[in-house]
Amino acid sequence: MDILDEFDISIIKELEKDGRMAFSAIAANLKISNTMVHQRINRMIEQGVIGGIKPIIQEKKIGYDWASFTGITLNKDSDSDRIIEALKDIPEITECYYVTGSFTLYIKIIAKNHEHMRRILYEKIDGIPGIAKTDSIIELGCAFKRNITL
């Protein structure tokens, strides 16, 4: 059984247009009941299909002009849970992934300027015990970002 049916997909497509859209507007657009929309969205949130409905902050508009993708090499990969918890305490780190290859973790860092980025890397991240090294690539702009096509 597929986790999403045609109604779920249609509801998600409506929310992608405007995440603030009223359930009643979605129901009217799709010619289904408001209750059905409400139940479907709640079910998809409970199942983890939808991670919630929240604003997407445009970091550059609020003064965060620098971003990096940073690979992290650990002294011991078994320390990853403890190190991830320490990384969560750094608000400028917005994403963290387990990866294969040369690194154990790959993170995205958002900073106001190059000095702010330096402080995050050298004073916050490098101070976490168990991190052997970091390797950063500076982001020059996002060409596009999107959800998977349903």
DSSP code per residue over 50-93: S--------GGGGT--EEEEEEEEES-GGGHHHHHHHHHT-TTE
Tell me: the pLDDT tens digits for 23-67?
999 999 999 999 999 999 999 999 999 987 788 889 999 999 999
Q: For CATH 3.30.70.920, list the domain ranges present in the chain.
A: 57-137
Element (H, E) at 96: strand 93-98
Its CATH architecture, for the domain 4-45, is Orthogonal Bundle (1.10)
For residue 1, pLDDT beyond 80: no
Q: Are 71 and 132 spatial neighbours (Cβ–Cβ below 8 Å)?
A: no
> Mean pLDDT over residues 102-114, rounded?
97
Instruction: State the Cα–Cα distance between residues 135 and 133, nearest whole angstrom.
Output: 7
Q: What is the pTM of this model?
A: 0.82
Write down the H helix ranges in the chain: 6-17, 23-30, 34-46, 80-88, 114-119
pLDDT at 7: 95
Instruction: State the Cα–Cα distance between residues 84 and 78, nearest whole angstrom.
Output: 11
Which residue in 108, 107, 105, 95 sits closest to 67, CA to CA?
108
Tell me: the pLDDT tens digits for 111-146?
999 999 999 999 999 999 999 999 999 999 889 988
From residue 4, alpha-carbon distances to 107, 110, 143, 144 in Å are 30, 34, 29, 25
| Residue that has been written with the tokens 């009941």 in this structure | 33
Which tokens in the block code for residue 16? 């992608």
Whether domain 57-137 has CATH 3.30.70.920: yes
Given the DSSP bridges, would you call strands 105-111 and 131-139 parallel, antiparallel or unpaired?
unpaired
pLDDT at 148: 86
CB proximity list for 119: less than 8 A, separation 6 or greater: none
